[in-house]
Structure 1
Amino acid sequence: MPVEAAGGALRKVARVVLLDPEDRVLLLHGHEPDDPADDWWFTPGGGLEGAESRAGAALRELREETGITEVELGPVLWRRRCSFPFAGRRWDQDEWYYLARTAQTATVATGLTELERRTVAGARWWTCRELARTRETVYPTRLAGLLRTLLDEGPPAGPVTLDTEIV
Protein backbone atom coordinates (compact mmCIF):
# COMPACT_ATOMS: atom_id res chain seq x y z
CA MET A 1 0.00 0.00 0.00
CA PRO A 2 1.39 3.45 -0.87
CA VAL A 3 2.63 5.68 1.92
CA GLU A 4 0.97 9.03 1.40
CA ALA A 5 0.67 12.28 3.24
CA ALA A 6 -2.57 13.16 5.01
CA GLY A 7 -5.49 13.51 2.62
CA GLY A 8 -4.10 11.07 0.03
CA ALA A 9 -1.50 13.48 -1.39
CA LEU A 10 2.00 12.41 -2.33
CA ARG A 11 4.54 12.57 0.50
CA LYS A 12 6.28 15.93 0.22
CA VAL A 13 10.07 15.54 0.34
CA ALA A 14 12.98 17.98 0.27
CA ARG A 15 16.39 16.72 -0.85
CA VAL A 16 19.79 18.40 -0.98
CA VAL A 17 22.37 18.29 -3.74
CA LEU A 18 25.22 19.30 -1.44
CA LEU A 19 28.48 20.33 -3.13
CA ASP A 20 31.82 20.89 -1.42
CA PRO A 21 34.52 23.35 -2.61
CA GLU A 22 35.82 20.66 -5.01
CA ASP A 23 32.34 20.24 -6.58
CA ARG A 24 31.93 16.78 -5.08
CA VAL A 25 28.37 15.76 -4.16
CA LEU A 26 27.49 14.14 -0.85
CA LEU A 27 25.48 10.92 -1.04
CA LEU A 28 24.22 8.64 1.71
CA HIS A 29 24.53 4.86 1.44
CA GLY A 30 21.31 3.06 2.28
CA HIS A 31 19.93 -0.46 2.17
CA GLU A 32 16.84 -2.48 2.94
CA PRO A 33 16.50 -3.05 6.71
CA ASP A 34 16.78 -6.84 6.48
CA ASP A 35 19.03 -7.06 3.40
CA PRO A 36 22.24 -4.96 3.41
CA ALA A 37 23.08 -6.41 -0.04
CA ASP A 38 20.06 -4.54 -1.49
CA ASP A 39 21.73 -1.15 -1.38
CA TRP A 40 21.88 2.22 -3.14
CA TRP A 41 23.20 5.79 -2.85
CA PHE A 42 20.94 8.82 -2.48
CA THR A 43 20.96 12.51 -1.65
CA PRO A 44 20.27 13.66 1.91
CA GLY A 45 16.69 14.67 2.59
CA GLY A 46 13.31 13.52 3.72
CA GLY A 47 9.69 14.31 4.39
CA LEU A 48 8.28 17.58 5.62
CA GLU A 49 7.11 17.73 9.23
CA GLY A 50 3.93 19.63 10.10
CA ALA A 51 3.79 23.10 8.52
CA GLU A 52 7.51 23.04 7.73
CA SER A 53 8.62 24.62 4.44
CA ARG A 54 10.51 22.57 1.87
CA ALA A 55 13.64 24.70 2.41
CA GLY A 56 13.32 24.25 6.18
CA ALA A 57 12.94 20.50 5.77
CA ALA A 58 15.99 20.37 3.48
CA LEU A 59 18.18 22.08 6.09
CA ARG A 60 16.76 20.05 9.00
CA GLU A 61 17.21 16.73 7.19
CA LEU A 62 20.75 17.68 6.17
CA ARG A 63 21.61 18.49 9.79
CA GLU A 64 20.02 15.28 11.12
CA GLU A 65 21.51 12.95 8.50
CA THR A 66 24.99 14.48 8.17
CA GLY A 67 25.59 16.92 11.02
CA ILE A 68 26.38 19.59 8.42
CA THR A 69 25.01 23.00 9.42
CA GLU A 70 27.30 25.45 7.61
CA VAL A 71 25.32 25.52 4.38
CA GLU A 72 24.42 28.04 1.71
CA LEU A 73 21.04 26.83 0.43
CA GLY A 74 20.43 27.68 -3.21
CA PRO A 75 17.53 27.25 -5.60
CA VAL A 76 15.41 24.20 -6.35
CA LEU A 77 17.19 22.41 -9.21
CA TRP A 78 14.88 19.52 -9.97
CA ARG A 79 11.49 18.08 -9.09
CA ARG A 80 10.70 14.40 -9.30
CA ARG A 81 7.89 12.02 -8.48
CA CYS A 82 8.91 8.55 -7.48
CA SER A 83 7.43 5.38 -6.12
CA PHE A 84 9.46 2.60 -4.56
CA PRO A 85 9.25 -0.27 -2.08
CA PHE A 86 11.19 0.15 1.14
CA ALA A 87 10.94 -1.50 4.56
CA GLY A 88 7.85 -3.49 3.59
CA ARG A 89 5.86 -0.50 2.30
CA ARG A 90 5.46 1.47 -0.93
CA TRP A 91 6.52 5.12 -0.78
CA ASP A 92 5.00 7.63 -3.24
CA GLN A 93 6.86 10.93 -3.12
CA ASP A 94 7.01 14.41 -4.64
CA GLU A 95 10.68 15.37 -4.25
CA TRP A 96 12.30 18.79 -4.62
CA TYR A 97 16.09 18.89 -4.95
CA TYR A 98 17.79 22.00 -3.55
CA LEU A 99 21.30 23.06 -4.50
CA ALA A 100 23.50 23.73 -1.48
CA ARG A 101 27.17 24.44 -0.93
CA THR A 102 29.37 23.89 2.10
CA ALA A 103 33.01 23.90 3.13
CA GLN A 104 32.13 21.54 6.02
CA THR A 105 32.98 18.06 4.72
CA ALA A 106 33.07 15.94 7.90
CA THR A 107 29.80 14.11 8.46
CA VAL A 108 28.20 12.75 11.63
CA ALA A 109 24.64 11.47 11.58
CA THR A 110 23.20 13.08 14.71
CA GLY A 111 19.44 12.83 14.32
CA LEU A 112 18.54 9.64 12.50
CA THR A 113 15.19 8.00 13.07
CA GLU A 114 15.10 4.39 14.25
CA LEU A 115 14.47 3.20 10.68
CA GLU A 116 17.32 5.36 9.34
CA ARG A 117 19.71 3.96 11.97
CA ARG A 118 18.92 0.47 10.65
CA THR A 119 19.25 1.40 6.97
CA VAL A 120 21.80 4.19 6.47
CA ALA A 121 25.32 2.76 6.31
CA GLY A 122 27.31 5.97 5.87
CA ALA A 123 28.06 8.91 3.61
CA ARG A 124 30.56 9.64 0.87
CA TRP A 125 31.60 12.60 -1.28
CA TRP A 126 31.51 11.69 -5.01
CA THR A 127 33.09 13.41 -7.99
CA CYS A 128 31.07 13.69 -11.17
CA ARG A 129 33.50 11.28 -12.85
CA GLU A 130 33.07 8.70 -10.07
CA LEU A 131 29.28 8.92 -10.41
CA ALA A 132 29.47 8.48 -14.18
CA ARG A 133 31.66 5.37 -13.81
CA THR A 134 29.99 3.61 -10.89
CA ARG A 135 28.00 0.42 -11.31
CA GLU A 136 26.31 1.00 -7.97
CA THR A 137 22.68 2.11 -7.83
CA VAL A 138 22.28 5.87 -7.39
CA TYR A 139 19.05 7.88 -7.07
CA PRO A 140 17.95 9.81 -8.96
CA THR A 141 19.19 7.43 -11.64
CA ARG A 142 20.39 10.23 -13.94
CA LEU A 143 22.35 12.02 -11.17
CA ALA A 144 25.75 11.82 -12.94
CA GLY A 145 24.43 13.62 -16.04
CA LEU A 146 22.38 16.08 -14.04
CA LEU A 147 25.41 16.97 -11.92
CA ARG A 148 27.61 17.38 -15.02
CA THR A 149 25.06 19.79 -16.54
CA LEU A 150 24.80 21.69 -13.25
CA LEU A 151 28.57 22.07 -12.98
CA ASP A 152 28.96 23.06 -16.66
CA GLU A 153 25.96 25.38 -16.99
CA GLY A 154 25.05 26.43 -13.46
CA PRO A 155 21.59 26.11 -11.92
CA PRO A 156 18.60 26.11 -14.29
CA ALA A 157 16.42 29.23 -14.51
CA GLY A 158 13.66 27.27 -12.79
CA PRO A 159 13.20 23.75 -11.43
CA VAL A 160 13.51 21.02 -14.08
CA THR A 161 10.94 18.23 -13.85
CA LEU A 162 12.69 14.87 -13.97
CA ASP A 163 11.09 11.71 -15.30
CA THR A 164 8.95 9.85 -12.80
CA GLU A 165 10.83 6.89 -11.36
CA ILE A 166 8.91 3.82 -10.29
CA VAL A 167 10.85 0.91 -8.84
Structure 2
Amino acid sequence: MISPPVREAARVIALDDAQRVLLLRHHGEGESYWATPGGALEAGEDHAAAVLRELHEELGVDEKNVALGTQLAQRSQDQTIGGQAVRQVEQYFLAHLEPADADSARATQPDNIQAHRWWTLQELRETAETIYPVGLLDLITGVLANGVPRRPITLR
Protein backbone atom coordinates (compact mmCIF):
# COMPACT_ATOMS: atom_id res chain seq x y z
CA MET A 1 0.00 0.00 0.00
CA ILE A 2 1.29 3.46 -0.90
CA SER A 3 1.47 6.00 1.91
CA PRO A 4 -0.26 9.33 1.32
CA PRO A 5 1.95 12.41 0.87
CA VAL A 6 3.09 14.14 4.06
CA ARG A 7 1.67 17.58 4.79
CA GLU A 8 3.66 19.43 7.49
CA ALA A 9 1.49 21.77 9.55
CA ALA A 10 1.79 24.15 12.48
CA ARG A 11 -1.03 24.92 14.89
CA VAL A 12 -1.37 27.26 17.85
CA ILE A 13 -2.99 26.83 21.23
CA ALA A 14 -3.73 30.48 21.89
CA LEU A 15 -4.69 31.43 25.44
CA ASP A 16 -5.78 34.80 26.77
CA ASP A 17 -5.35 36.27 30.27
CA ALA A 18 -8.54 34.51 31.44
CA GLN A 19 -7.07 31.12 30.35
CA ARG A 20 -9.58 30.78 27.53
CA VAL A 21 -8.51 29.05 24.32
CA LEU A 22 -9.18 30.37 20.83
CA LEU A 23 -10.89 27.93 18.46
CA LEU A 24 -12.11 28.29 14.89
CA ARG A 25 -15.33 26.76 13.58
CA HIS A 26 -14.88 24.92 10.29
CA HIS A 27 -17.20 23.11 7.96
CA GLY A 28 -15.51 20.82 5.54
CA GLU A 29 -15.13 17.24 4.41
CA GLY A 30 -18.72 16.56 5.52
CA GLU A 31 -18.52 17.72 9.14
CA SER A 32 -18.57 20.82 11.32
CA TYR A 33 -15.98 21.11 14.08
CA TRP A 34 -13.91 23.51 16.18
CA ALA A 35 -10.12 23.46 15.89
CA THR A 36 -7.04 25.41 16.84
CA PRO A 37 -5.77 27.97 14.31
CA GLY A 38 -3.04 26.85 11.93
CA GLY A 39 -2.27 25.14 8.68
CA ALA A 40 0.32 23.80 6.28
CA LEU A 41 3.86 25.08 6.06
CA GLU A 42 4.83 26.92 2.90
CA ALA A 43 8.10 26.22 1.06
CA GLY A 44 11.11 27.26 3.16
CA GLU A 45 8.99 28.13 6.20
CA ASP A 46 9.57 26.82 9.72
CA HIS A 47 6.77 25.91 12.11
CA ALA A 48 6.95 29.10 14.19
CA ALA A 49 6.77 31.31 11.09
CA ALA A 50 3.82 29.25 9.81
CA VAL A 51 1.92 29.77 13.08
CA LEU A 52 2.34 33.55 12.86
CA ARG A 53 1.37 33.61 9.17
CA GLU A 54 -1.70 31.45 9.78
CA LEU A 55 -2.88 33.65 12.66
CA HIS A 56 -2.66 36.64 10.32
CA GLU A 57 -4.36 34.88 7.40
CA GLU A 58 -7.16 33.29 9.45
CA LEU A 59 -7.78 36.00 12.06
CA GLY A 60 -5.99 39.18 11.02
CA VAL A 61 -3.60 38.96 14.00
CA ASP A 62 -0.50 41.14 13.75
CA GLU A 63 2.52 39.00 14.62
CA LYS A 64 3.90 41.67 16.97
CA ASN A 65 0.85 41.03 19.20
CA VAL A 66 1.59 37.30 19.54
CA ALA A 67 3.67 36.01 22.47
CA LEU A 68 4.68 32.72 20.83
CA GLY A 69 5.92 30.03 23.17
CA THR A 70 7.39 26.60 22.79
CA GLN A 71 6.08 23.50 21.06
CA LEU A 72 3.67 21.67 23.39
CA ALA A 73 2.51 18.74 21.32
CA GLN A 74 2.58 16.88 18.04
CA ARG A 75 0.09 14.80 16.12
CA SER A 76 0.20 12.70 12.99
CA GLN A 77 -2.77 11.21 11.20
CA ASP A 78 -4.16 10.33 7.81
CA GLN A 79 -6.94 12.62 6.70
CA THR A 80 -8.56 14.15 3.63
CA ILE A 81 -7.82 17.78 2.84
CA GLY A 82 -9.32 19.37 -0.23
CA GLY A 83 -10.40 15.96 -1.46
CA GLN A 84 -6.86 14.53 -1.27
CA ALA A 85 -5.63 11.94 1.21
CA VAL A 86 -2.60 13.16 3.16
CA ARG A 87 -0.58 12.23 6.23
CA GLN A 88 -0.92 15.44 8.29
CA VAL A 89 2.03 15.93 10.67
CA GLU A 90 1.29 18.78 13.06
CA GLN A 91 3.26 20.65 15.69
CA TYR A 92 1.26 22.60 18.32
CA PHE A 93 2.70 25.76 19.85
CA LEU A 94 1.58 27.71 22.91
CA ALA A 95 0.84 31.40 22.43
CA HIS A 96 -0.68 34.27 24.34
CA LEU A 97 -3.13 36.57 22.57
CA GLU A 98 -5.58 39.24 23.60
CA PRO A 99 -9.10 38.67 22.25
CA ALA A 100 -9.11 42.12 20.60
CA ASP A 101 -6.12 41.07 18.47
CA ALA A 102 -8.22 38.48 16.60
CA ASP A 103 -10.59 40.13 14.14
CA SER A 104 -11.94 38.03 11.29
CA ALA A 105 -12.65 41.25 9.34
CA ARG A 106 -8.86 41.62 8.95
CA ALA A 107 -8.34 37.99 7.83
CA THR A 108 -6.63 37.66 4.45
CA GLN A 109 -7.41 33.97 3.85
CA PRO A 110 -10.34 32.85 6.01
CA ASP A 111 -10.74 29.58 4.03
CA ASN A 112 -13.80 27.72 5.34
CA ILE A 113 -13.75 29.33 8.80
CA GLN A 114 -17.29 30.09 9.92
CA ALA A 115 -16.52 31.72 13.28
CA HIS A 116 -13.95 32.12 16.02
CA ARG A 117 -14.62 31.89 19.72
CA TRP A 118 -12.74 32.01 23.01
CA TRP A 119 -13.66 28.92 25.06
CA THR A 120 -13.35 28.53 28.81
CA LEU A 121 -12.03 25.23 30.11
CA GLN A 122 -15.46 24.54 31.61
CA GLU A 123 -17.10 25.07 28.20
CA LEU A 124 -14.61 22.63 26.62
CA ARG A 125 -15.38 20.11 29.36
CA GLU A 126 -19.16 20.37 28.85
CA THR A 127 -19.55 20.71 25.08
CA ALA A 128 -20.98 18.05 22.81
CA GLU A 129 -19.35 19.75 19.80
CA THR A 130 -16.42 18.15 18.00
CA ILE A 131 -13.13 19.74 19.09
CA TYR A 132 -9.74 19.09 17.47
CA PRO A 133 -7.25 18.02 18.46
CA VAL A 134 -8.64 15.27 20.62
CA GLY A 135 -7.12 15.75 24.08
CA LEU A 136 -6.91 19.54 23.85
CA LEU A 137 -8.58 20.08 27.24
CA ASP A 138 -6.19 17.67 28.99
CA LEU A 139 -3.19 19.30 27.30
CA ILE A 140 -4.23 22.81 28.39
CA THR A 141 -5.10 21.80 31.97
CA GLY A 142 -1.77 19.97 32.23
CA VAL A 143 0.17 23.02 31.04
CA LEU A 144 -1.72 25.34 33.40
CA ALA A 145 -1.16 23.00 36.37
CA ASN A 146 2.38 21.78 35.67
CA GLY A 147 3.93 24.16 33.15
CA VAL A 148 5.19 23.39 29.67
CA PRO A 149 6.25 19.75 29.17
CA ARG A 150 9.97 19.10 28.73
CA ARG A 151 9.25 17.28 25.47
CA PRO A 152 6.25 17.69 23.16
CA ILE A 153 3.35 15.42 24.03
CA THR A 154 2.06 13.12 21.29
CA LEU A 155 -1.67 13.55 20.72
CA ARG A 156 -3.84 10.86 19.20
Q: If the length of structure 1 is used for normalisation, what is the TM-score?
A: 0.83
Match for residue 122 of structure 1 among 99, 115, 121: 115
Q: Do 1:64 and 1:110's aligned partners in 2 also have CA atoms closer than 8 Å?
A: yes
Moved more, 134-143 or 154-163: 154-163
Structure 1, unaligned runs of 5 or more: 5-9
State which of 98, 107, 110 in structure 2 corresponds to 1:110: 107
2:153 pairs, out of 140, 143, 160, with 160
- Taking structure 1 as reference, are residues 58 and 2 closer, same or farther at Cα in structure 2, changes over 3 Å only? farther
Residue equivalent to 1:32: 28
Rounded to whole Å, the distance in 1 between the matches of 2:35 and 2:41 is 17
Query: Do 2:67 and 2:97's aligned partners in 1 also have CA atoms closer than 8 Å?
Result: yes
Distance 2:82 2:103 in 1: 25
Where does structure 2 lack aligned partners over 5 or more consecutive residues? none
Moved more, 15-24 or 82-91: 82-91
Work out the CA distance in 1 between the residues paired with 2:92 and 2:66: 15
Q: Corresponding residue for 1:139?
A: 132
Inter-CA distance 2–89: structure 2 relative to 1 (3 Å threshold): farther
Superposition deviation, residue 104 in structure 1: 4.2
* Residue equivalent to 2:77: 82
Aligned residues: 151
> How much does 1:86 deviate?
4.0
Give distance in 2, aligned partners of 1:23 and 1:91: 33
Summarize deviations over 1:57-90 as a string: whole Å, max 9, x none.
0110011111122100000000110222344322
Further displaced range: 144-153 or 68-77: 144-153
From 76, 87, 107, the equivalent of 1:92 is 87
RMSD over aligned Cα atoms = 1.9
Does the 8 Å contact 1:81/1:93 carry over to 2?
A: yes
Secondary structure of the structure 1 residue equivalent to 2:134: coil
2:19 matched to 1:23?
Answer: yes
Identity rate, percent? 40
Q: Distance in 2 between matches of 1:121 and 1:128?
A: 21
1:64 is the counterpart of 2:64: no
**1:7 maps to what in 2?**
none
Aligned residue for 1:95, secondary structure, equals strand
Matched position secondary structure for 2:128: coil
